Amino acid sequence: MIPGPVDIEDDVLEALAQPAPPHYGGEWLEIYVEVVDRLKQVFDTQNDLFLMTGAGTTGLDAAVGSLMRTGDKVLVGVNGFFGRRLTTVAENYGLHVLTIEAPPGQPLDPEEFSRFLSAEPGIQALAVVHLETSTGVLNPLQEIAAISHRFGVPIIVDAVSSMGGIPLEVDGWGIDICVTVSNKCLGCPPGVAPISISERAWEQMDRKAPRAHGWYQNLNVWRQYAADWSEWHPYPTSLPTNSIVALRTSLRRILANGIEAYYDRHVQAAHTVRAGLDRLGFELFTPAECTSPLITTVRRPPWMDLADYRLFLLDERHIMIAGGLEALRDEIFRLGHIGRAASEEYSQSFLSATKEYLLRNGQRFPDGGDRAD
């Protein structure tokens, strides 16, 4: 029940165990095209979409490095660990990094982007995290993207933990470069980083030196191969074909009853777990109005030894949850309601294990009862 990597469904694991087909030719391209088409449904986009090999950060690195040249100004939203990571990616490309910050647990304020863009000329792109996994805060992406359009500045979005799990309309909201990864809401092992690129982003890349940064993570190279080798090999390198076959299995499952039905699983699971934690006297770290159903972040009660609690869950109940990151390390714990873990079974097991832990530690519950189910 960590917020990624996810616990993987059996049919996806079975798909992974098949012999790996070669990454080119007609038979393979059918699989590849199906996966790209299904991802475009999940992204809700008609933009170009590539399957980069690597972690989610591979795609973010490619987005930042392709859209800008050394010395360009980029405006990054920072309200947690992954926003901060985006600033490091940009700094390492030699960009001039400007930030809009909010404290951990609070969302970014779209108005601040608007004020900043009015006051500071020459910003070449915005970069923001949709769902800040370190705190569970869901940033107001649609509003921030609308502002980026108003100022004609392309926006890069880290949707690593949110894509496929909650509504996100790449075309409807005007997300220029959107990055996710296989091992969060897409329900697969790590290794594939889908990335979509809008016409506006391509236009900006055309204006910049096309080969300013590297080769594999240079999106212009990907566009060139998609055009030149479209008949047999529309990407620059080999692909992790069995990971992509597994992704096809997972995408078929995600889309089987419509993506809304898949989103709804997360809503149900979050509701069950949050209501149960509330009955047990826990307090959420991120207020309900600025979070998503995918990640629950919970304040550590003063009496609780987080390391001991997590060890109890893992050793005695085989449930893995996550702690906080950086300054929140000993202050919060985090639960993911994604993939296989977004089920009544997982939710109830977690709640009954937590109740037992509280009882063992002499805790009583606010309503005087001992219900956790």
Ligand X SMILES: *Cc1c(COP(=O)(O)O)cnc(C)c1O
For binding to ligand X (CB under 6 A), which residues are involved?
Answer: 4, 55-57, 82, 129, 133, 158, 160-161, 181, 190
In this structure, are residues 301 and 333 in contact, taking their beta carbons and an 8 Å threshold?
no
In this structure, are residues 10 and 339 in contact, taking their beta carbons and an 8 Å threshold?
no
- DSSP sequence for 267-331: HHHHHHHHHHHHHTT--BSS-GGGB-SSEEEEEPPTT--HHHHHHHHHHHH----EE--GGGTTT
Which of 174, 190 has the CB closer to ligand X? 190
- DSSP sequence for 30-79: HHHHHHHHHHHHHHT--SEEEEEEE-HHHHHHHHHHHH--TT-EEEEEES
Quote the least distance from Cβ 64 to ligand X, whole Å. 13
Which of 53, 57 has the CB closer to ligand X? 57
Quote the least distance from Cβ 178 to ligand X, whole Å. 12
Residue type, position 102, single letter: A
Q: What letter would DSSP give residue 188? A: S
Which of 160, 245 has the CB closer to ligand X? 160
Which of 109, 158 has the CB closer to ligand X? 158
Phi, psi of 101 (to 5 degrees): -120, 155
Q: How far is the CA of 197 from the CAs of 58, 62, 83, 179, in angstroms?
A: 15, 11, 20, 9
Beta bridge partners of 123: 73
Q: Is 122 helix (H, G, I), strand (E, B) or coil?
A: coil
Which of 89, 95 has the CB closer to ligand X? 89
Q: Which of 310, 296, 298 has the alpha carbon at shortest distance from 266?
A: 296
Quote the least distance from Cβ 163 to ligand X, whole Å. 10
Count of beta carbons in the 10 Å neighbourhood of residue 223: 20
Quote the least distance from Cβ 221 to ligand X, whole Å. 20
Which structure tokens are listed for 279? Answer: 């009955």
Quote the least distance from Cβ 132 to ligand X, whole Å. 6
Which of 190, 323 has the CB closer to ligand X? 190
Quote the least distance from Cβ 348 to ligand X, whole Å. 26
Quote the least distance from Cβ 12 to ligand X, whole Å. 17
Which of 205, 338 has the CB closer to ligand X? 338
Quote the least distance from Cβ 90 to ligand X, whole Å. 14
Which of 189, 234 has the CB closer to ligand X? 189
In this structure, are residues 153 and 144 in contact, taking their beta carbons and an 8 Å threshold?
no
